[in-house]
């Protein structure tokens, strides 16, 4: 799969939580040639199914595996129109106000149907007190400048209109890449990489690839998708913090290899199975802990219906929730390779020894 | 040259060479090699004889350099340590794209080189403490990430001294506005290149200066060399006119014409010249405004105090978010600066 081509495409899509309509259509087209069926549900989850290619030896139904990676993104919204036509911002998901000053954004103007370019402005430093100069700007202090008069803005933009961040895919050294929305569309890319590999492999399970919605506002899409698919087990893919100079000990994973989470929300035997698969295929797999909440779709999928055993694969990412989220494209490929082999290792006896 | 080309060109203070050579060649094309000099500071000086021998000798400046960053070292894990060249509020650097190094065409025995991409990241919001959220990240805690795996690799691609510029595509937006980097002062360079065609009244030296952003060091030497009667700086200046800015804090207004300064932090405009400039603006119909607040400094200051003194005036294009990756100005103001300077030079 052309990973960079996919990342360039995904970074140009706009799909804030709850507004994944256009991005879900775009995602569906990627899954269509690789799967047997693709549907978009009422919450904009993209559910693509690839049926088992070999029957179980005992004739039992194929195990159903749910794969989740979220397609929604953090964003902002118009909360006020100021007298000079600039906009005040509210947020959709956790946007770090530190990334905003002098940033470029897109305002999705509902009244005119246009996507307008805006610049985030602030009171300049020489007009601030010494104390204020040492503090970061708060979102409430910043504004979006559309370069339009108050009247023009009023004709185009309504309170509540969405504002998305800009961060095109930028290729760096060593096959590393920075873009907005790597969290978590890069993991949807991992699903696609795995789906492409499965074209040349035999698997006994039915695989449900789901690009979930509304993860950033409480993993809501995944809860619904898990109900709909009713899987036997699930693999969730999400990004995880990679190490940077300011990182505190035991809070990050290295950038250069996939990782898997352990902790109460993760079925430990399934995790052992994932590690075994990784070992057999010489895939380096780091681990990280989550003492309860994982902050991913896992939190809702695990307790969907009567309960679903989950594992969580982590794609390391630097600078999460910025417009320069940075990862190693080779690690995306390794995650896809790991996932495809893991799916091939799921047979009718997958749950024989889960609880001993 | 097109404004897009000039704004996207790279040239931090002291490392203006890409801009300098492009401007030099265009000056030579228009005025002939004998009239164009690169001086000892790296300024480009283009001379044009006036049609009226009694008219004063004019020096016109626009600075080629832009604010940016410079690599000073790398961390063990391959991140570039940088320092600001010129006045940059570190708050505008977080989560931005940059270009590291310059594109060097492979000719004249030089090895072809390409600038590489980099990003300035910061700790994710999930991992920040209350203090992290509040305190501004100083430049020594901001790193340029080019994807290098270790210190050696990072410094091989970007040795100490490598210039770093913002990576902002030239983007027209809104109602006739422009979003770009380095509008301060490529707009002045753009207009001065156009003014090379003016029917100048007095002998005129068009000086494309270097190192304005680190203390107007290029203009000082050029003014000393030329000892003009009159000096005019074509600048980009802070506007402070957007958002909930109190009226008293506004410096000038984007879209309201070229800003004529009566005073800034570096100089007081020579009053008769200021009055004359206002009259010329009215007569030629160039949209203009008086810079309302004493703010910023520029080459007017050093030129004024050169030799036995020079009469100066500053004509600025109002810029929002100046010295950031996303400067905003109005194309109509760029045009007004050109019209007024042309009318003054031809008077």
Which residue out of B16, B26, B66, B212 is catalytically annotated? B212
B86 with B39, same domain: the answer is no
Q: Are B191 and B307 found together in one domain?
A: yes
Q: Residues 6 or more apart from B21 whose CB is under 8 A from it?
A: none
Give start and end residues of each alpha helix (H) in chain A: 3-11, 21-31, 130-133, 150-156, 182-198, 220-229, 268-280, 298-301, 329-344
The ipTM of this complex is 0.90
Predicted confidence at residue B95, as pLDDT, reads: 97
Q: What are the pLDDT digits (tens) for B275-326? A: 999 999 999 999 999 988 777 789 988 999 998 899 999 999 999 999 999 9
Q: What domains lie within chain A, and their CATH numbers?
A: 3-73+180-344 (3.40.630.10), 75-165 (2.40.30.40)
pLDDT in tens, A238-250: 999 999 999 998 9
Mark whether B12 and B24 lie in a shared domain.
Answer: yes
B161 and B195 assigned to the same domain:
no
Q: How many residue contacts between A and B have a Cβ separation below 8 Å?
A: 196
How far, in whole angstroms, is CA B48 from its chain's centroid?
Answer: 23
CB A111 within 8 A of CB A152: no
pLDDT band at B211 (very low <50, low <70, confident <90, very high): very high
d(CA A165, nearest CA chain B) in Å: 11
The reply to whether A149 touches chain B by the CB within 8 Å rule is yes
Cα A97 to Cα A122, A178, A355, B205: the distances in Å are 11, 19, 45, 47
DSSP reduced 3-state for B99: strand
Reduce the DSSP state of residue A16 to 3 states and report it. Answer: strand
Per the structure, the count of domains in chain B is 2
pLDDT computed for residue A129 by the predictor: 85
Does the pLDDT at position B12 exceed 90? yes
Average pLDDT value for residue range A323-340: 98
Q: Are A44 and A20 in contact (CB under 8 A)?
A: yes
**What contacts B274, CB < 8 A, 6 or more positions away?**
B260, B261, B262, B313
**C-alpha torsion sign, points B294, B299, B302, B303:** negative
> Are residue B10 and residue B74 in the same domain, yes or no?
no
Non-local (6+) Cβ contacts of B276 within 8 A are B344
Do B252 and B209 fall within a single domain? Answer: yes
Do B52 and B94 share a domain, yes or no? no
* Residue B231, CA distances (Å) to B61, B207, B228, B235 in order: 8, 10, 7, 13
Output the pLDDT for position B84.
96
- CA–CA gap between residue A340 and residue A314 (Å, rounded): 15
User: Which residues of A16-103 form beta strands (DSSP E)?
Assistant: 37-40, 46-50, 64-70, 75-81, 87-92
Q: Which of A147, A169, A245 to mutate to test the interface with B (most CBs of B within 10 A)?
A: A147
Contact assignment for A321 to B143 by CB distance below 8 Å: no
Are B219 and B302 part of one and the same domain? yes
pLDDT at B246 over 80: yes
Distance of alpha carbon B291 from alpha carbon B295, whole angstroms:
9
pLDDT of B269: 87
CA B237/CA B215 separation, integer angstroms: 15
* Same domain for B86 and B52: no
pLDDT by residue (tens digit) across B111-147? 888 999 999 999 999 999 999 999 999 999 999 999 9
* Average pLDDT of the residues in B259-271: 89
Indicate the residue of A121, A152, A246 with minimum beta-carbon distance to B321.
A121
Do B237 and B324 lie in a common domain? yes
Q: Is the preceding omega at residue B52 within 30 degrees of 0, hence cis?
A: no
pLDDT, mean over chain A: 96
Residue B215 maps to which CATH number?
A: 3.40.630.10
Give the one of A96, A136, A320 whose C-beta lies nearest to B134's C-beta: A136
Report the 10 Å Cβ neighbour count for A186: 28
Strand (E) or helix (H) holding B238: strand B230-238
B172 in any annotated domain: no
Which of B246, B243, B279 lies closest to B260, judged by CA?
Answer: B279
Please tell me if residue B131 touches chain A, with a CB cutoff of 8 Å.
no
Given a cut of 80, is residue A126 above it in pLDDT?
no
Of B94, B148, B149, the CB nearest to A98: B94
The catalytic residue positions of A are 215
Q: Which residue of B has its CA nearest to A248?
A: B127
């Amino acid at each position: 799969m052309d990973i960079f081509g996919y990342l360039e495409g995904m970074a140009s899509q706009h799909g804030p939580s709850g507004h994944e309509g256009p991005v879900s259509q775009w995602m569906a087209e990627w899954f269509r040639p690789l799967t047997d069926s693709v549907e978009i549900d009422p919450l904009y989850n993209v559910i693509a199914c690839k049926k088992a290619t070999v029957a179980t030896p005992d004739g039992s139904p194929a195990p159903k595996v749910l794969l989740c990676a979220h397609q929604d993104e953090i964003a902002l919204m118009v909360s006020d129109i100021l007298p000079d036509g600039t906009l005040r911002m509210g947020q959709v998901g956790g946007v770090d106000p530190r990334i905003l000053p002098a940033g470029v954004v897109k305002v999705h103007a509902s009244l005119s149907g246009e996507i307008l370019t805006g610049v985030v402005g602030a009171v300049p430093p020489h007009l601030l007190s010494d104390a204020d100069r040492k503090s970061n700007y708060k979102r409430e202090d910043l504004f979006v400048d559309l370069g339009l008069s108050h009247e023009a803005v009023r004709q185009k933009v309504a309170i509540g209109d969405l504002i998305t961040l800009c961060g095109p895919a930028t290729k760096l050294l060593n096959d590393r890449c920075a873009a907005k929305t790597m969290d978590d569309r890069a993991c949807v890319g991992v699903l696609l990489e795995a789906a492409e590999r499965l074209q040349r492999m035999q698997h006994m399970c039915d695989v449900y690839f789901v690009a979930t919605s509304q993860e950033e506002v409480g993993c809501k899409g995944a809860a619904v998708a898990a109900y709909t698919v009713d899987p036997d087990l699930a693999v969730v893919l999400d990004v995880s913090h990679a190490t940077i100079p300011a990182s505190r000990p035991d809070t990050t994973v290295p950038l250069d290899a996939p990782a898997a989470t352990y902790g109460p929300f993760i079925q430990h035997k399934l995790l052992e199975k994932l590690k075994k698969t990784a070992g057999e295929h010489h895939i380096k797999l780091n681990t990280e802990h989550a003492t309860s909440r994982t902050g991913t779709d896992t939190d809702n999928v695990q307790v969907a219906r009567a309960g679903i055993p989950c594992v969580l694969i982590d794609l390391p990412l630097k600078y999460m929730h910025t417009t320069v989220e940075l990862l190693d494209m080779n690690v995306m490929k390794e995650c896809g390779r790991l996932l495809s082999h893991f799916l091939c290792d799921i047979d009718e006896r997958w749950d024989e020894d889960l609880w001993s | 040259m097109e404004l897009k080309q000039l704004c996207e060109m790279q040239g931090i203070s002291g490392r203006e060479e890409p801009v300098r050579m492009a401007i030099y060649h265009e000056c030579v094309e228009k005025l002939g090699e004998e009239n164009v000099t690169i001086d000892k500071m790296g300024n480009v000086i283009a001379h044009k004889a006036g049609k009226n021998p009694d008219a004063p000798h004019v020096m016109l400046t626009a600075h080629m350099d832009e604010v940016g960053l410079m690599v000073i070292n790398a961390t063990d894990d391959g991140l570039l340590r940088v320092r600001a060249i010129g006045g940059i509020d570190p708050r505008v650097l977080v989560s931005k794209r940059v270009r590291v190094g310059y594109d060097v065409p492979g000719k004249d025995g030089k090895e072809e080189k390409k600038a590489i991409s980099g990003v300035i990241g910061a700790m994710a919001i999930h991992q920040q403490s209350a203090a992290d959220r509040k305190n501004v990240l100083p430049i020594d805690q901001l790193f340029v990430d080019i994807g290098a795996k270790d210190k050696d690799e990072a410094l091989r691609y970007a040795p100490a001294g490598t210039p770093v510029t913002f990576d902002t595509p030239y983007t027209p937006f809104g109602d006739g506005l422009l979003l770009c980097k380095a509008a301060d002062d490529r707009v002045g360079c753009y207009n001065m290149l156009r003014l090379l065609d003016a029917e100048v009244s007095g002998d005129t030296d068009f000086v494309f200066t270097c190192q304005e952003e680190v203390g107007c060091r290029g203009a000082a030497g050029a003014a000393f060399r030329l000892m003009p009667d009159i000096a005019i700086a074509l600048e980009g200046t802070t506007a402070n006119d957007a958002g909930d800015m109190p009226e008293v804090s506004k410096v000038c207004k984007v879209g309201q014409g070229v800003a004529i300064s009566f005073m800034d932090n570096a100089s007081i405009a020579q009053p008769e010249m200021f009055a004359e400039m206002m009259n010329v603006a009215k007569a030629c119909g160039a949209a203009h405004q008086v810079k309302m607040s004493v703010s910023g400094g520029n080459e007017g200051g050093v030129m004024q105090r050169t030799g036995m003194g020079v009469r100066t005036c500053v004509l600025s294009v109002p810029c929002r978010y100046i010295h950031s990756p996303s400067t905003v100005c109005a194309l109509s103001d760029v045009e007004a600066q050109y019209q007024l300077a042309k009318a003054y030079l031809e008077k």
